Chain A
Amino acid sequence: MNIHEYQAKELFEKFGVATPKGQVAESPEEAKAAAADLGSQIVVKAQVHAGGRGKGTFKNGFQGGVHLVNSADEAAGVAGKMIGETLVTHQTGEEGKQVNKVMVADAVDIEKEYYLAILMDRESRSPVIVASTEGGVNIEEVAEQTPEKIFREVIHPLLGLQPYEIRNLASGLGLSGDTAKQFGKLLKGVFKLFMSCDCSMVEINPLVTTPDGQVLALDAKFDFDDNALYRHSDIEALHDPTEEDPREVEAAKYDLNYIGLDGNIACLVNGAGLAMATMDIIKQSGGEPANFLDVGGGATQEQVRNAFKIILGDPNVKGILVNIFGGIMDCDVIAKGIVAACGEVDLSIPLVVRLEGNNVEAGKETLAGSDVDLIAADTLADAAQKAVAAIS
């Protein structure tokens, strides 16, 4: 789960991590009031999850989702051109994202930019802190071209962040004196936030020093462990469904694992590994998968029915492939779900079904006894070829 910049700032404040002064606004009036509390150089930023805001374009023609202004009135004017409008960046796709809020903050005088991140590292099974003297740029490129400018500390899972680890990183970044001290305070706050909020990543890019000696987190990206959200209702509340594919929001309601893709053959599969493999084999057979959909090992008839409705709601879908290996999953449950869903929607596209495993005979009988028009397949390869052939 991702969050907005203004929400990240609020979280940072809660954990004593220094950020530029500012606040969020939902209207030009609020933006004006927020700007009145700030200095003479103010930045107004559109709040969407996508990157590339500064170089983006609004559908109303207004250029740029990040603007520098010099007065509260100007801030209100810029906010008025952003709020309620749709911003298109290289990450949003053509349809863009509607901007509902803007951040109004002090434009910081930057001395130097750094990079700082904490992530859960699967190899060391520990949190790892990554810092670099090269901030504000793509860190993967830095890692590739100048690895000596990247500093890593693997943190003990049970002991947590140690003072010497902070000193190592400060020294790597070339910080000393009061700046190093401020960096240490900031890092301790970020680490505490990372651990206590079950983050899988916190990335501050850039972290900056200012001519007056401050160390500030200027922009941040968060990723939280979805499995741990049950114990963080405050973080779950930050979830903004308007930032997600509506099909995925709908699927989540029914506890279905769904990811929308760009192809035209929808698939419905039980198990994440088999669902991925089904996408792969569709592509190999010359088709393009429209989605990843894992109905889970213990799906109910109701879930299957809803899964079917979600994939049929995608206008790009030209054919459907159902691939079930009913280990424990009863094939007849899937069959009944398909029949129920087809009874509610007018199925006008080809449906290929491959059922195997537990109670498969009953499942095949259910399908054969219904008036659902389907193409039966025996193996996964057979199913994929039939699905591709059916739509071409």
Chain B
Amino acid sequence: MAILVDENTKILVQGITGSFGGRHAQLSLDYGTKLVAGVTPGKGGQTFADTVPIFDTVKDAVGETGATVSAIFVPPPFAGDAILEAVDAGVDLVVAITEGIPVMDMMRVRAAMKDSDTRLIGPNCPGVVTPGRGENSQGGCRIGIAPGYIHKRGKVGVVSRSGTLTYEAVYQLTSLGLGQSTCVGIGGDPINGTSHIDVLKMFNKDPETEAIIMIGEIGGTAEEEAAVWAKENCDKPIAGFIAGATAPPGRRMGHAGAIVSGGKGTAEAKIAAMRDAGIEVADNPSDMGEALVRAMG
């Protein structure tokens, strides 16, 4: 089962001819992901890695290949347009990897997507991985930039705002022999497509997922809202971690969304809300895997 994507999901990559997009498209192919198309305006008719057809538009790519997910590697000035193009082409899921999209652009994109059935994940996120069952988790669906080999197919759902902290958590889980159902990076921007709470709801419904790790960071109140929801509604054990307890207020810590302002979005408030919801919060990032073991009892 897993959530969002599985071994059979067909994906396309917007921006496949860029160096970043191309490198990660190749890594996804190597992982065994069904990458069926690329899109770069003006380069339709060419192929990527000798096998993947490139189209001028997402509409053509979807029509010809039946791709249902688009991964966006388009540079920031053009990324908002790329997301809207994918939404208009009717894909089920858009995963925007691009870092540095202006907030105003994301505000307009989200407003334009109000009545759409398409789900957006990101931007500024590591992507989504449903690990495969082969050696080093080969054969899974890898969308984005996460290292495939650290994964292992299993029963833990992972949702996180941070890329490298997700890898850290996944690596700890795999080292403990605990596999993952799906790992979702929702991204570090202030306006994004999918929140912690959205992903918790999906994991709660997914029969394959038996426990959840939720990783957050300072800024906003999404973790608090997710914790309140989980307290009332989530049937599965959850472990968590919040980064940024020592960050100075008013400073943007790398991620555009990671900022404590006006006394809101502090690590303390998030950790308190999570503990109140019965979430096993790791004391430090080395403890995320063990915290999940404790949560599972």
Q: List chain A positions with a Cβ less than 8 A from chain B.
A: 120, 122-123, 125-127, 140, 156-158, 195, 198, 200, 225-228, 230-231, 257, 259, 261, 269-284, 289, 292, 294, 297-298, 325-328, 356-358, 379-382, 384
> Nearest chain B CB to A323's CB is how many angstroms away?
9
> Nearest chain A CB to B284's CB is how many angstroms away?
5
- Which of A259, A277, A292 touches B285 (beta carbons < 8 Å)? A277
Residues of the B chain whose Cβ atoms lie less than 8 Å from the Cβ of A281: 284-286
Residues of the A chain whose Cβ atoms lie less than 8 Å from the Cβ of B24: 328
Q: Are B217 and A273 in contact (CB under 8 A)?
A: yes
Q: Are A327 and B167 in contact (CB under 8 A)?
A: yes
Q: Are B165 and A273 in contact (CB under 8 A)?
A: yes
Closest to A157 in B: B111
Other contacts beyond A274-B162, A274-B165, A276-B247: 17, CB < 8 A:
A120-B107, A122-B190, A122-B220, A140-B262, A158-B108, A225-B104, A225-B256, A230-B77, A269-B164, A274-B168, A279-B247, A284-B284, A297-B164, A328-B147, A357-B150, A357-B167, A380-B286
* A156–B20 CA distance with the chains assembled, in angstroms: 35
Q: List chain B positions with a Cβ less than 8 A from chain A.
A: 20, 24, 27, 76-77, 100-108, 110-112, 126, 145-147, 150, 160-168, 171, 188, 190-191, 215, 217-218, 220-221, 241, 243-248, 251-258, 262-263, 267, 283-287
Given contacts A125-B111, A358-B147, contact A327 B164 (CB under 8 A): yes
Residues of the B chain whose Cβ atoms lie less than 8 Å from the Cβ of A282: 246
A-B contact pairs, 15 of them (CB 8 A): A125-B191, A126-B111, A230-B77, A259-B251, A270-B164, A273-B161, A273-B162, A273-B188, A277-B243, A277-B244, A280-B285, A326-B147, A327-B126, A327-B150, A358-B147
Closest to B172 in A: A379
Given contacts A261-B248, A274-B168, contact A227 B100 (CB under 8 A): yes
> Nearest chain B CB to A297's CB is how many angstroms away?
7
Binding site of A, secondary structure by majority: helix, strand, loop or mixed?
mixed
> Nearest chain A CB to B209's CB is how many angstroms away?
22
Given contacts A273-B255, A328-B145, contact A200 B103 (CB under 8 A): yes
7 closest cross-chain pairs (CB), A and B: A273-B162, A271-B164, A272-B254, A228-B102, A381-B286, A274-B164, A273-B165
Residues of the B chain whose Cβ atoms lie less than 8 Å from the Cβ of A228: 102-105
Given contacts A122-B190, A157-B111, contact A357 B147 (CB under 8 A): yes
> Nearest chain A CB to B164's CB is how many angstroms away?
3
> Nearest chain A CB to B72's CB is how many angstroms away?
16
